[in-house]
Amino acid sequence: MKLRKITAFAMTIVMTGLCCVNAFAVNLKVDGTTANLTHSPQNAENYWLVEGGELAALLGLKSVWSPDRKTLTIADGTAKTAVFTAGRKSYEVNNIAKTMPLAAIETINGLYVPVRVVCETFEAKILWDGIAQNILITTPLKNADAIVARYSDDGAKGATKYEDALKRALEINSDIKNLSDNIEYMQKQRTELVDMQPTDVYVTAETRQISDTNFSAWLRQINALESEISNKEYNERLTKGMSEYLMRNAIIQIKLNEIDISVLSENVSLAENNLKNVTLKNSVGMASDADVKTARTNVDKLKTSLSALQLTARDNKLALNKLLDYPADTNLIIPLTPAYSELPKSINDYIRIKTSEDPQIKKLEATLENAEYALNVTWDTVTDYELEKIKNQNAVNQAARNLSDAKTNLSKNIESAYNDLNKLLENQNGLTVDLAKAHEDLSNATASYQAGFSTVYEVNGAKLSVLRAETEIAKNIYNYSNLYFAFQNPYLLQ
């Protein structure tokens, strides 16, 4: 009876073409994160296969299984659709027929498809780590979010919400308090000036000149105060925007420090292990004293760099605590999730919109309007009329030039930031390639080590290269997010 059961099981394996030997020990890692698969990867004809629906979900793709047609459709939702059919090597990508090295295999768990075929169809990199028995997949865009998630403070114990931190920053900002006090003072001044309106009754030409001079000055004072009061909204936007930018920048700088420290710490550890190995070789005559000295010097230099970076991180944390009025020794954690936010399709339209609503431009427009008003209320009956008119005309000209220059500079700053953001997006693509290459080098180093041609040190060095490539991706998206915030608020661009 037992023999029949074993024979039946063996026949099932042969008929499906799947080999379950060591399948349970194989992990699938997507963008560095081990996938929690419901059904284990299987091997057939030396190719790894995974249930197509699960694989699609891990790659951020959509899938539909048609039991009647025995087809699995996988799509990225926009440009590409692939259709796999049970028992067939042929498959279609956007209705174009292609051929796989082996057929898709239907089981009770679903349709198993070759991992490499699906990955390459949707432009994901795939590598095999023979030592760790891992299938390594790097997606073209999603990997940045996955890598950043590892450095995220979301859910950290004792973390302060970003919104709460910003509220505190605005509440303690003395510039905002001073702005409110100044507005209150100017409103009181305006009330007093209204009560002091000069009389327009005069008897002689001389008294008329004095009366008109006083009235003209009074009108200008009233208009200037009203202009300042109306600028309150713009001043508040400028002050609050700068306050939030300083806080965001401090948070991001701290996070970038942490990322760099993680890489440098691993570098120090690798160098220390190398020093131990070189010292051991030196004791048996396989390495010179100069080799030991070089290895020790490398360790010392890396430790010095690490200490300097840790001091920088400490200073940035102190600056954030000071900005939010916390004690210097507070371990402040403020989660901030960066993202590659979409850029406007038309930069010219974006510049036009941002210029029309920019608070600094609004203030300069108000200054020009006030100067023009002062010129218009300069009557020929006032004292020193010609001199007063020249002075007011100069004020108008200067205000107009300041406004024109500000618009030009704002336009240049927005365009420059737009170009820099696009460069960071392009850089992300290059960094993704670098990460795939680092994974490939790690896979090669691992295989070489298994064959006896490489050392553990070389394998660990390849692992460090993967970590370094991952952190460069994380740093790139943080830098993008920081610049994008200023791009949305162009008055912060310098």
Contact predicate 212/382, CB 8 Å: yes
* pLDDT band of 26, cuts 50, 70, 90: confident
Q: Are both 18-140 and 162-492 of the same fold?
A: no
Coil, strand or helix: which one is 66? Answer: strand
Query: What mean pLDDT is predicted for residues 273-301?
Result: 95
Q: Report the 10 Å Cβ neighbour count for 440.
A: 18
Q: Across residues 312-320, what is the average pLDDT?
A: 95
Residue 173 has pLDDT above 50, yes or no: yes
Tell whether domain 162-492 is in CATH 1.20.1600.10.
Answer: yes
Q: For the chain, give the mean pLDDT.
A: 82
* DSSP, res 130: T
Q: Which pLDDT belongs to residue 144?
A: 67
Cβ 114 vs Cβ 98: under 8 Å: no
The domain locations on the chain are 18-140, 162-492
437, burial (CB in 10 Å: exposed 0-12, middle 13-18, buried 19+):
middle
* CATH 3.30.2320.80 correct for 18-140: no
pLDDT for the residue 194? 56
Find which of 10-24, 175-189, 361-375 is predicted with most confidence, using mean pLDDT. Answer: 361-375
Q: What is the pLDDT of residues 253-275, one digit of tens each?
A: 999 999 999 999 999 999 999 99
pLDDT of residue 298: 95
Burial class, 234, CB count within 10 angstroms (exposed 0-12 / middle 13-18 / buried 19+): buried
Note the pLDDT of residue 429.
Answer: 78
pLDDT at 181 > cutoff 90 = no
Note if the pTM is more than 0.85. no
Highest mean pLDDT among 18-22, 95-99, 131-135, 433-437: 95-99
Instruction: Supply the pLDDT for residue 436.
Output: 78
Whole-number Å distance between alpha carbons of 40 and 403: 66
Query: Considering only 11-20, 269-278, 295-304, 476-485, which range has the smallest mean pLDDT?
Result: 11-20
